[in-house]
Amino acid sequence: MVPAPPGDLPAPDRLEAPVVLYTTPWCGFCRAALALLRARGIEHVEIDVMGNQAARQWLAQVTRLSTVPQVFVRGHSIGGYTELAQLDHSGELARLLAAPV
């Protein structure tokens, strides 16, 4: 699935929550993604990667993106806020979350 992250950084497929976001505190898109999940009542875990260069390199390797947030649904990278919002709008996010694990 996803290569092992560095050090003590939790892997998205090892956490109980169906949605995992890797964020930084100053990121507006991170705040928007969290607001969307909270508004929908979607269980999630936020992991702050600010200042963690190894985590940022791992995310870039795994997602091929260097921006935050990086959102994982059921251990799979879906992209950032824009992709999360599109999945939500289309109803696909609800389908992914309802699918058996």
CATH of the domain at 51: 3.40.30.10
Pairing between β-strand 19-23 and β-strand 44-48 as defined by DSSP bridges: parallel
pLDDT tens digit sequence for 62-71? 999 999 999 9
Give a yes or no: residue 8 inside a domain: no
pLDDT tens digit sequence for 21-63? 999 999 999 999 999 999 999 999 999 999 999 999 999 999 9
Tell me if residue 73 falls in helix, strand or coil.
Answer: strand
Give a yes or no: residue 74 inside a domain: yes
Give a yes or no: residue 61 inside a domain: yes
**CB neighbours of 83 closer than 8 A, spacing ≥ 6?**
71
Tell me if residue 100 falls in helix, strand or coil.
Answer: coil
Report the predicted TM-score, pTM, of the whole model to 2 decimal places: 0.94
Domain, as residue range, for 50: 32-98
The crossing angle, in degrees rounded to 10, of helices 81-90 and 28-40 is: 30
Tell me if residue 22 falls in helix, strand or coil.
Answer: strand
Give a yes or no: residue 91 inside a domain: yes
Give a yes or no: residue 47 inside a domain: yes
| Counted domains in the chain | 1
Give a yes or no: residue 72 inside a domain: yes
Give a yes or no: residue 9 inside a domain: no
